[in-house]
């Protein structure tokens, strides 16, 4: 894999920008897609949010100072784009975020691009019952298998707080699976 610093340099250099954009998209599209998908839930909306994420990346790459890793910065943009998207949808429907997510979970039953069974659907219900930040932490740790220091970089939260958050999230999900 191309060294991150080299890639950032190439992205900022107009003569190498096009080729490095291709590398960037090719390298990160799938990880970002799945990160967004687990928040937004349906494929079409994820596709829109993914494209908006890359537009923001292209637009602001010159201002990227390298304080965090490039992929952490992109994950953060994707997270913000997903949250903004869901907030807009909730406002349009005049419902709160929790209700919106529950509705979107119910829509999964008829979604062509969801082939999970009842148990996997129940797991998704359990996840959206969590506070929003715990949802993020759970998805990133459990499904994406990111390390705590990587999640810390993305969410700007201490590793200790993330460990506690993940522990609580797991307990609540297990209780939901047993009791509901």
Partner 1 sequence: MDREKENILNNLKRSGPGFTVPKTYFEKLEDRIDQSRDSIDANLQEYEENTERKLKQKSVFTLDQIGKNHGFIVPDSYFEAVEPKILRLEKPKIIPLKNNFIRILSLSIAASILLFFGIKYMNTGQNTKNQLVFQDEEFINWIESDLTDLNSYEIAEVFNDMELEQSLYAEDDVFEYLNSVDIENLILEN
Give residues in contact with partner 1 (CB under 8 A). 18, 21-22, 25-26, 29-30, 33-34, 37-38, 41, 43, 47, 50-51, 54-55, 58, 108, 113-121, 123-124, 142-143, 145, 170, 173-174, 177-178
At residue 100, φ and ψ (nearest 5 deg) are -60, -45
Q: Among residues 58 and 64, whose Cβ is nearest to partner 1?
A: 58
CA–CA dist 29, 57 (Å, integer): 12
Both tokens of residue 30?
């799938």
Q: Among residues 96 and 104, whose Cβ is nearest to partner 1?
A: 104
CB 4, min distance to partner 1, A: 20
Q: Among residues 6 and 55, whose Cβ is nearest to partner 1?
A: 55
CB 58, min distance to partner 1, A: 5
Q: Among residues 3 and 180, whose Cβ is nearest to partner 1?
A: 180
Asked if 160 contacts 110 with a C-beta cutoff of 8 angstroms, the reply is no
């Amino acid at each position: 894999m191309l060294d991150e610093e080299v890639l950032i340099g190439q992205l900022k250099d107009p003569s190498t920008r096009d080729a490095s954009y291709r590398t960037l998209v090719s390298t990160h599209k799938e990880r970002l897609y799945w990160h967004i998908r687990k928040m937004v839930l349906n494929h079409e909306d994820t596709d829109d949010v993914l494209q908006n994420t890359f537009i923001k990346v292209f637009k602001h790459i010159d201002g990227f100072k390298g304080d965090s890793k490039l992929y952490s910065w992109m994950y953060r943009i994707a997270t913000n784009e997903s949250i903004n998207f869901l907030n807009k949808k909730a406002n349009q429907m005049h419902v709160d975020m929790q209700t919106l997510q529950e509705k979107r979970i119910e829509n999964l039953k008829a979604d062509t691009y969801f082939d999970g069974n009842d148990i996997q659907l129940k797991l998704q219900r359990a996840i959206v019952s969590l506070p929003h930040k715990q949802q993020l932490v759970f998805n990133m740790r459990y499904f994406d298998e990111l390390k705590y220091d990587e999640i810390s970089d993305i969410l700007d939260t201490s590793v200790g707080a993330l460990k506690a958050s993940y522990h609580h999230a797991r307990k609540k999900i297990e209780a939901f699976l047993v009791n509901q």
